[in-house]
Amino acid sequence: MNTDLSILHLVKEASFVVQFVMFILLSASIASWTFIFTKRKELSEAISITEDFEDEFWSGVGLAELYKKMASDRFEPEGIEKIFLAGYREFARMRQKGEVEPAVQVESAQRAMRIELSRELDRLDETLPFLATVGSTSPYIGLFGTVWGIMNSFRALGEIKNATLANVAPGISEALIATAIGLFAAIPAVIAYNRFSTRLDRLAGRYELFIDEFVVLLQRQAHSK
């Protein structure tokens, strides 16, 4: 007896439940890879923007001049630039009132930057929970498909009088494919999640450090006449 054990044939001959499990895992894998490439580009751009902005910020340019440049209609601020704009805009608004205490001016600007920081981190963190979910659940979904396929194989085996390994091998093989697909979906998702989480934490630390340094400059400016 010549049994076809090619992957495509096994998938085609698998039960509906096992095929459905494979479909879910393949869909999750495709989605996670899409998010991986998108997030990698997004974080790389955010880091590059941060480096360029910090170089310009510490180049000696005036805060008002830098704000005017980034607040113009021709400029589209991103990442740390939005944090700077939010802080200096609020600082300038409070300072124009005249009677506001310097400490209140700085505190208001710092609060505005913290709000913008939260928005930016939420934006960068948007797809990471999906990668974590795929990484943690895919092996179990694949295992469910495997168990279901093996159960069907042994159920069919019980109905055969002269059972041989050739009778049960295709069913077990197609069931194990579900586990393999589950691992294929999970491993890249877990690696990407850990990598992106580390990069995002470092970027958040740079944002936090910038806010602290910017607050020091605003305190000096707030107490100057």
The pLDDT assigned to 32 comes to: 96
Containing domain of residue 166, as a range? Answer: 7-222
CA distance 120 to 193: 18
Residue that the structure tokens 């008002």 belong to: 64
Q: Is residue 180 part of a domain?
A: yes
pLDDT digits (tens, 9 = 90+) for 27-58: 999 999 999 999 999 999 999 999 999 999 99
Q: Is residue 1 part of a domain?
A: no
Number of domains in the chain: 1
Q: Is residue 105 part of a domain?
A: yes
Q: Is residue 2 part of a domain?
A: no
Q: Is residue 85 part of a domain?
A: yes
Q: What is the pTM of this model?
A: 0.83
The token pair at 125 is: 């963190």
Computed over every residue of the chain, the mean pLDDT equals 87
Q: Which residue has the higher pLDDT, 164 or 1?
A: 164
Q: Is residue 46 part of a domain?
A: yes
Task: Determine how many CB atoms are found less than 10 A away from the CB of residue 51.
Answer: 12
- Is 70 exceeded by the pLDDT of residue 143? yes
Contacts of residue 174, Cβ cutoff 8 Å, sequence gap at least 6: 10, 11, 13, 14, 18, 149
pLDDT digits (tens, 9 = 90+) for 111-124: 999 999 999 999 99
